[in-house]
Amino acid sequence: MPRLFGTDGVRGIANRDLTPELAFKLGMAGAKFLSPEIGSIALGRDTRRSGDMLQSALASGICAAGNDVIDLGILPTPALAWLIQKLGAGGGAMVSASHNPAEYNGIKFFASEGVKLSEENEEAIEELLEKSSEGRASGKSTGRIIDRRDGVELYIDHVCSGAHGEINLNVAIDCANGAAYKIGPEVFQRLGIAPTTLGIEPDGLNINDNCGSTHMGALAEVVKSGDFDVGLAFDGDTDRMLAIDENGTFIDGDHIMAICAKHRLEKGELDPAAICVTVMTNIGFDLAMRDLGIKVHKTNVGDRFVLKEMVTNDITLGGEQSGHIIFHDRNSTGDGIITAIELLSIMRDTNKPLSELTKVMTTFPQVLRNLKADGVKHVAESASVLKVIAAGQRELGDRGRVLVRPSGTEPLIRVMVESDSQEKAERIADNICQVIEDQI
């Protein structure tokens, strides 16, 4: 059987790749793996129209395995992760395709500690799929669905406590018509902010549709047209956050992590003086951390790899350029709302505009290309592609780098080239893409 799990759960076109039948089987298999002693599994979803269908099927599978379902309703993925621990569930599952368009959906499982499963654990669930018709509960042993949509209030209390007081800033937020559409404005209002809001009218089909952290143009225009201190954009399930500074300039996850690392270091709250990022992080970040005396750990793309490295080395801060940032002393996974509160608190405490804070690092020119391809792993590792990658890296030397990798969530090959020269980066990226297209 082909591997179902990618870098972030099982994902695909809803009702075509990810069907209710598969969701039911995943519910049974996931429950048997996560809570073999029979307990409860927490469930949440984002605002996609297919979420009702898939969550219902997933919940049915969990109940058929004899486990109760704690239904948390529509809420951010990091809220689910935190509530799994708070409510003492045996594990959890989120029905969401994160930053993908509305026709996609996904299922990602969490252990009782609120962390995403390892590849080995996902493989164990896939093996149990073949036995999904065995050991079904009946009678009094059948699981129930328990409505705990009020649980999100506990999470709101938790994240707001991290601000240590009100924040007097003029803020615009874009909730991507996703999981943050309701909780986002409520959090900021509780912190004394009256946010200008975008992306808070989900209809099941408009999640991430020209809004949120993947399409920040509208937010930038709002910030530039008014007297705003900052614009904050979330993705569909709110585990990512990216920003727009007061001038309308886009601020990525590398800059946000650099700002947070520097501030925590100066306050004596970065112990050890280390941070964990992925191979996608810009070289300029590495140089900035070196100058600050902060050690940089690097992993493959995927927040679970970042978290594993953080836990191994007792690191409290890590994340991805995409805005998926983990404050491990605050949550067990990337959390867009906590990231937003951390950034706003730094702006308040330093009394500096975001444009000034971002000067902590200088970004090297970076060219990113996505090429559609079936059998992406085979193409990306072909001899001709490896040869042109090596040639590009030799030309860049220690002033740049090349990264070519298959996407874990879409049929894409991602090409990244960094250099101290934009022209050179684009030329090398063009050469690599041409060879890949010839292979396709």
| Residues carrying an active site annotation | 98
φ, ψ of residue 142 to 5 degrees: the values are -70, 140
Quick one: which H or E segment has residue 32? helix 20-34
Q: What's the token pair of residue 390?
A: 């090596």
Neighbours of 98 (CB within 10 A): 29
What angle (nearest 5°) sits at the alpha carbon of residue 59, between those of residues 176 and 175?
10
Find, among 259, 434, 235, the residue nearest to 358 by Cα: 259
Cα–Cα distance list, 58 to 35, 117, 333 (Å)? 15, 17, 22
φ, ψ of residue 12 to 5 degrees: the values are 175, -175
Partner residues linked to 404 by β-bridges: 415
Chain-centre distance for alpha carbon 45: 14
Please, what sign has the CA dihedral across residues 214, 358, 350, 265? Answer: positive
> Rounded CA gap, 415 and 392, in Å?
12
Strand order in the sheet with 145-147: 5-6, 9-13, 104-111, 91-95, 40-45, 68-74, 145-147
> Rounded CA gap, 79 and 155, in Å?
6
Please, what sign has the CA dihedral across residues 318, 75, 68, 86? Answer: positive
Report DSSP state, residue 31: H
Neighbours of 200 (CB within 10 A): 18
Cα–Cα distance list, 291 to 284, 296, 360 (Å)? 11, 11, 10
> Rounded CA gap, 50 and 176, in Å?
17
